[in-house]
Structure 1
Amino acid sequence: MTEARLDELLREIQRRIRAEDAHRRRRNRLAVTLGGAVACVAVTGGALAVAQATSTEKSVSLCHQEASAQSPAAEVGAAPIDGTVAALPDMAARVAFAEAQCEAVWRIGLLESDSTPAGTSPPLFTCLLADGRLGVFPAEESRGCDAIGLRRP
């Protein structure tokens, strides 16, 4: 084989290697882009699912010991009669039920504070938590939902 033919074969081999490398880089770039898009959609969907309570979960309210969404809390709600949760009542009925349940939680001593005598309940106010459930808080420590960074129901 002549030297010219060897040079031609070498150039052809190098061209094929460059073409294969370029193809592999494009394929990898596409795989990373698609994988990233799928991961973003999955994480966003998961976050939305976690952040928004279902109707069943919204039938449960949280009775907080202090006027803070991070304070210790007891969950209250109505047990379903036939194993299924009925449609949610209007917001006023949800608030009244949550406050009545939380007042009972305070009266039986599941929640307590230094300023609330045993067997009694402090004045309460109700806010809408980020996930759609209701949070019920003692009014003696705060002026309302705005003061603790929550919305009114």
Structure 2
Amino acid sequence: MADVDEYYAAQFEEIRRRISARGAAQRRRSRIMTLAGSTLAAVLLTGGAFAVVQATDTEKSGSVCYQAADTDSASTEVSAAPTDGVIGELPAMADRVTAAENQCAASWQIGAVGGATGRVPDLFTCVLADGRLGVFPVDGRTDCLALNLGKP
């Protein structure tokens, strides 16, 4: 009778081991599927956010003039009037930078940026996160890298 009890105990232990192993495998698969789903969702959301944040070529034809070398400072948006009411292709980056700095200099000149008329500081230009150009007054210590912005 002891052999029969040992046999059943061994069989019962084997069944418990298999159930436990199957449960562990299911938990692993569940964790993997959850991780894969979460990763996919994060990638899709990031891609969607990136698409929403990017400015169109029409919006990129405008620039932002900042009062200080800081993206949180007061700013004014400027752009050139389109020829015949139609905005054409986006100009080359060098032309965009020149236009942005000229427009911001004019804004400083009339007091639309900085408040005081007549004084135009030296300016530098960076590419904002959405692709537009940001024009900042030179303060001697801040550049595009310090602002976490791209160079044009």
TM-score range, shorter chain: 0.5 to 0.7
Shift of 1:106: 2.8
Shift of 1:14: 1.5
Q: Is the 8 A contact 1:66 1:138 kept in 2?
A: yes
1:62 maps to what in 2? Answer: 64
Cα distance in 2 for partners of 1:137, 1:15 equals: 69
1:39-65, CA deviations, whole angstroms, 9 ceiling, x for partnerless residues?
452355356547754433322211111
2:142 maps to what in 1? Answer: 148
Task: Give the aligned CA root-mean-square deviation in angstroms.
Answer: 3.3
TM-score, structure 2 as length reference: 0.66
Q: Residue 47 of structure 2: SS of its match in structure 1?
A: helix
Structure 1 residue runs of 5 or longer lacking an equivalent are none
Percent identical residues: 43
1:119-151, CA deviations, whole angstroms, 9 ceiling, x for partnerless residues?
x24144231234242222335xx24xxx31216
1:23 maps to what in 2? Answer: 25
Cα distance in 2 for partners of 1:7, 1:67 equals: 78
Q: Give the 5 Å matches for 1:1-153.
A: 3=5, 7=9, 10-11=12-13, 13-42=15-44, 44-45=46-47, 48-49=50-51, 53-78=55-80, 81-82=85-86, 85-113=87-115, 116=116, 118=117, 120-131=118-129, 132-139=131-138, 142-143=139-140, 147-150=141-144, 153=152
Cα distance in 2 for partners of 1:95, 1:8 equals: 81
Number of residue pairs aligned between Structure 1 and Structure 2: 141
Structure 2 residue runs of 5 or longer lacking an equivalent are 145-149
Q: Residue 37 of structure 1: SS of its match in structure 2?
A: helix
Cα distance in 2 for partners of 1:71, 1:78 equals: 23
